[in-house]
Amino acid sequence: MAGASGGKIVNRQGLAEFFGVSLPTIDAWVRSKVPYLQKGGKGREWQFDTAAVVEWRIRQAEEASNKKLASLEAIEKETARVKLEQEKLKLAHAKALVVPMDQMERRLAIVFAEIRTNLRNVPGRVSSLILGETNERKMVAVLMEEIDRSLAGLADFDTNSLDESIDDSN
């Protein structure tokens, strides 16, 4: 018996044999909206037009191919974006707009050591000034003045002078 689109009308078993697939595959196709002439049910077999199913399978293959192509294009776009970012980074490095992380870490370690040294020296510098002092406000004022002096010295600390010593260590 021929279907409306010129194919052969078959049941699930016939469709499985026609395409050389298993019955579970046909069931999966049904869940994926394969075209059918009659829905199976209580005492009634599924009926499929093989020509309509062939056309449906061709459309599915085209859609899958288009998705793969879209995925490939997305990968190519991402690759191009990453390459562009790498080139931007190289340019920024050449213009000295960025600093390598290890160089920055060494510079920060030196700056933090300077901060530590300055702050740890505060007690020695102020002890003679507050020795015997009983006025808490005056002691706090002396300490704050020395801390501010240490911080001002750190503000004037020239990190650019570190470049040569850091570069020499490489």
Domain boundaries, the chain: 9-69, 101-168
- Residue-wise pLDDT for 29-66, tens only, equals 999 999 999 999 888 999 999 999 999 999 998 888 88
Mean pLDDT value across the chain: 85
Integer CA distances (angstroms), 56 to 3, 35, 61, 148, in order? 15, 7, 9, 80
pLDDT score of 93:
82
DSSP three-state, residue 47? strand
Instruction: Say what the pTM is.
Output: 0.42
pLDDT for res 112: 86
β pairing state of 48-49 and 9-10 = antiparallel
Q: Quick one: fold of 9-69?
A: Arc Repressor Mutant, subunit A (1.10.10)
For residue 69, pLDDT beyond 90:
no
AA identity, residue 71: S
pLDDT tens sequence across 110-152: 888 888 888 888 888 888 888 888 999 999 999 999 888 888 8
Alpha-helical (H) ranges within 42-161 are: 50-94, 101-120, 122-130, 136-155
Cα–Cα distance, 160 to 37 (Å, whole number): 81
